Amino acid sequence: MAESPSDDASADSSGTSVADAPGAPTTKFDRDTAVWREAQSGTGTVFGAEVAPDWRAGRGPHGGYLAAMLLRALLDAVADTDRAPRSLTIHYARAPEPGPVRISTAIERHGRSLSTLSARMQQDGELIAIVLAAFSRPWGGPEISDVQMPDVEPADASREGIKLIERGGPEFAHHIVLQPRMEGSVFAEGEQPMQIRGWIGLAEPRPIDALSLAFFSDALIPAPYMRMSEPAAVPTVDLTVHFRGRLRPAADADPHELCLAQTTTELIHDGFFIEDGLIWAADGTLLAHSRQLAIVIPSSSR
């Protein structure tokens, strides 16, 4: 976490770059999702952040990238490592431009075990996103799961993946490793399921945590592409991520590990579709559920 910057959003109050500060994040993902405290009053905290220019996905910054940035601010606002993120819901009002943004967080209720928070991201006085989130300690209860990880070929340890950029993929694809494990192919138009599956990770190795899971929840190829003939813009209207599995501490985690992510769509109507997602660790532990509402905007409509 960086201190409040002066004139440069990438520097702390002493003029030292965030990347060079003691204990500062070491990966591009961490640097580009960094936030810093600007003001605090009661249960509210205002953070500054800088939207980097190279995480774009078509019409604006990638929604998962913004989700990670917003979650980072909320984690700092909770300031309790025993209260893990359990639910994150974001409504995207408009796409920000690269540059400074302000994130205002509020602890709406702080119970004995569960905290409910809200947040708003703004740029130049315009609303970018509005957020609700829940953080909680573990609760006692039965451990039951009927969710099975698909039986797919394991991740390639070389961390080599398809080159989405060379296939016309969005700019943020520079920052990910994607090894597809789905049936069929995109833009085939046939009667194949609208389902995308693959091993995914950040190109710069980094332990899996809630921040990267928020990003991965929106990082696969859009599932409707399985039934379409050409790419389209698919901006997210809202995104919910439920964090499920308990993650290993960063010190014990393998930064090279990839997750298996899967997204499924069953209906496109009036230009809208819902995409349901699941993310597993390599050992089969379910790490996250996600659901988003998005819009399909064909090239001819842009």
The reply to whether 244 and 281 lie within a common domain is yes
> Is residue 143 one of the residues assigned to a domain?
no
> Is residue 146 one of the residues assigned to a domain?
no
Residue numbers of the domain that contains 102: 1-137
CATH number of the domain residue 207 falls in? 2.40.160.210
The reply to whether 103 and 198 lie within a common domain is no
CATH number of the domain residue 35 falls in? 3.10.129.10
The reply to whether 68 and 106 lie within a common domain is yes
> Is residue 33 one of the residues assigned to a domain?
yes
- Whether residue 224 contacts residue 296, with contact meaning beta carbons closer than 8 Å, is answered with yes
> Is residue 149 one of the residues assigned to a domain?
no
The reply to whether 183 and 296 lie within a common domain is yes
> Is residue 206 one of the residues assigned to a domain?
yes
Q: Is the pTM of this model over 0.85?
A: yes
Q: How would residue 283 be classed by pLDDT, with cut points 50, 70 and 90? A: very high
> Is residue 270 one of the residues assigned to a domain?
yes
| pLDDT per residue as tens digits for the range 153-165 | 999 999 988 877 6
pLDDT at 15: 29
User: How many structural domains compose the chain?
Assistant: 2
Q: What is the mean pLDDT of residues 136-160?
A: 92
> Interior CA angle at 81 toward 45 and 213, to 5°?
85
| pLDDT per residue as tens digits for the range 231-270 | 889 999 999 999 998 888 878 889 999 999 999 999 999 9
pLDDT at 188: 82
pLDDT at 8: 39
Cα separation, 232 vs 249, whole angstroms? 39
> Is residue 107 one of the residues assigned to a domain?
yes
